[in-house]
């Protein structure tokens, strides 16, 4: 299995599928790994693209480092991956926490290798409620998540999968397989990495990173997202990026790569190939 080694010695696992077509790099949500994108990677590879998906440090098959479980390091690890594979004209796609990772990558490394961005149910610009971000979510939301992680993370992942992550608590018809895969991937994440990543995705301020984005950006968000409410995430992110297009999936929740797969794939391909 392929790995790239970053500056501090951590090994970052990645999948590299498809042809020599234009590359698409897929960044996953918390506490998942590259497997969360495998259906999308297969779809893109079958449609002429090179699909690359990595496990963020601490997640899946990558090194479970004690340090570096925050956005700057995640972004620098992603930069090493793009440099190692010498990827150019890249479309960066990020779901949830992965959206923060790719936006912070642009903020720290620019867009010399990047031609487009896609944010799917993504955490930017800032999830946490602060004095200058009064529309965010209260810190008690994330403290409860941290408490659940510390108390019994196996049960937390089951509760998230059976509830707000897929919107199963709304419709009751989300496939058991999706929910099982969430739990399985979550348990493959290091405990410290998962705990620290809650602060990374909730308290990192991406507003300056978004204003630095100078490539076309597609923002896709469900208007019934119970994890990153659209008024906290997608709508505000689209306002901060100069060349952004916002697609609102009516009645859809957070896990769009699974629950709205066909629609998302069609929108991705249309945007990438435009």
Spell out the residues 6+ positions from residue 195 whose beta carbon is closer than 8 angstroms to its own.
146, 149, 150
CA distances from 194 to 65, 69, 226 (A): 11, 9, 19
| Distance from C-alpha of 267 to C-alpha of 262, rounded to nearest angstrom | 9
Q: Clarify whether 225 is annotated catalytic.
A: yes
Residue of 27, 62, 96, 202 marked active site: 96
Q: How confident is the model at residue 20 (pLDDT cuts 50, 70, 90)?
A: confident
The pLDDT confidence band at residue 271, using thresholds 50, 70 and 90, is very high
**Annotated active-site residue in 76, 225, 258, 260:** 225
Across residues 156-175, what is the average pLDDT?
Answer: 97
Task: Provide the whole-model pTM.
Answer: 0.98
Is there a catalytic annotation at residue 191? no
pLDDT, tens only, 65-124: 999 999 999 999 999 999 999 999 999 999 999 999 999 999 999 999 999 999 999 999
Active site residue 67: no
Number of helices and strands in the chain (H, E):
11, 8
Q: What is the mean pLDDT of residues 217-230?
A: 98
Please provide the average confidence, as pLDDT, over all residues in the chain: 97
């Amino acid at each position: 299995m392929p790995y790239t080694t970053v500056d501090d010695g951590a090994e970052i696992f990645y999948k590299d599928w498809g042809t020599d077509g234009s590359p698409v790099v897929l960044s996953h949500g918390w506490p998942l790994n590259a497997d969360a994108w495998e259906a999308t990677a297969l779809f893109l590879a079958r449609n002429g693209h090179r699909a690359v998906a990595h496990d963020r440090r601490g997640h899946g098959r990558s090194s479970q480092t004690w340090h570096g479980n925050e956005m700057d390091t995640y972004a620098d690890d992603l930069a090493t991956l793009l440099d190692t594979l010498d990827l150019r004209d890249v479309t960066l796609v990020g779901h949830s926490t992965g959206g923060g990772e790719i936006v912070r990558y642009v903020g720290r490394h620019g867009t010399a290798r990047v031609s487009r961005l896609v944010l799917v149910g993504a955490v930017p610009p800032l999830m946490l409620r602060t004095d200058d971000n009064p529309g965010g979510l209260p810190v008690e939301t994330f403290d409860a998540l941290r408490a659940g992680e510390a108390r019994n993370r196996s049960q937390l992942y089951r509760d998230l999968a059976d509830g707000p992550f897929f919107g199963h608590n709304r419709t009751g018809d989300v496939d058991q397989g999706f929910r099982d895969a969430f739990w399985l991937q979550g348990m493959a994440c290091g405990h410290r990495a998962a705990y620290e990543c809650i602060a990374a995705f909730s308290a990192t301020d991406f507003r300056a990173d978004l204003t630095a984005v100078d490539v076309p950006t597609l923002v896709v968000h469900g208007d019934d997202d119970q994890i990153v409410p659209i008024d906290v995430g997608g709508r505000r992110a689209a306002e901060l990026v100069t060349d952004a297009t916002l697609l609102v999936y009516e009645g859809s929740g957070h896990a769009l790569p699974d629950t709205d797969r066909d629609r998302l794939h069609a929108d991705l391909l249309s945007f990438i190939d435009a």
